[in-house]
Amino acid sequence: MNHFFYSFILLVISPLFLCAKGNPEALFAKGNSQYAKAQYKEAAQSYQEVLNDGYKSAEVYFNLGNAYYKMGEMAPAILYYEKAYKVTPGDQEISLNLQLANLKIADKIESVPEFFLTKWWKSFFLFFSAQALSGFAVAFLLLGFALLIVYLFAISISIKKPAFYAGIILLALGLLSIFIVSTQNSYLNSSSQAIVFNGTVNVKSGPDDKSKTLFVIHEGTKVTIKQNDNNWIKVELPNGNIGWVEVIAVKEI
Relative orientation angle of helices 24-36 and 40-52, to the nearest 10 degrees: 170
The sign of the torsion formed by the CA atoms of 185, 186, 188, 190 equals positive
pTM equals 0.74
| pLDDT for position 62 | 96
Length of the chain: 253
Separation of alpha carbons 244 and 205, rounded Å: 6
pLDDT recorded at residue 19: 42
Provide the pLDDT for residue 22.
58
* pLDDT at residue number 118: 77
- Tens digits of per-residue pLDDT, 224-242? 999 988 899 999 999 989 9
C-beta separation of 200 from 218 below 8 A? yes
Q: What is the pLDDT of residue 204?
A: 95
Task: Give pLDDT, residue 29.
Answer: 94
pLDDT at 56: 86
- Residue spans of the chain under pLDDT 70: 1-22, 114
pLDDT of 127: 82
Residue 18 is predicted with a pLDDT of 41
Going from the C-alpha of 99 to that of each of 69, 145, 213, 228, the distances in angstroms are: 12, 43, 29, 29
What are the phi and psi torsion angles at 242 (to 5°)?
-130, 145
